[in-house]
Amino acid sequence: MALDVAKGMNYLHTSNPMIVHRDLKTPNLLVDRNWVVKVCDFGMSQMKHHTFLSSKSTAGTVSYLQT
């Protein structure tokens, strides 16, 4: 399962422009009938035309950000 998530995130991060999910957590993962995990819920995602990500832009679920 972790490998499927890593493949999905790699796809997003190597696309042009890069897509940053910004809210990756277990409720945002789906499992299809072949037990392949898919990343979902791109409501907070952003397209990045540069590889620099500003630390000023915070997003995500609060309980996950507080740890």
For residue 48, which amino acid is it?
K
Report the alpha-carbon angle 30-36-39, nearest 5.
Answer: 40
Active site residue 4: no
Strands 46-48 and 29-31: unpaired
Given 4, 23, 32, 41, which residue is catalytic? 23
Question: Structure tokens of 53?
Answer: 């990500």
Which residues are tagged catalytic?
23
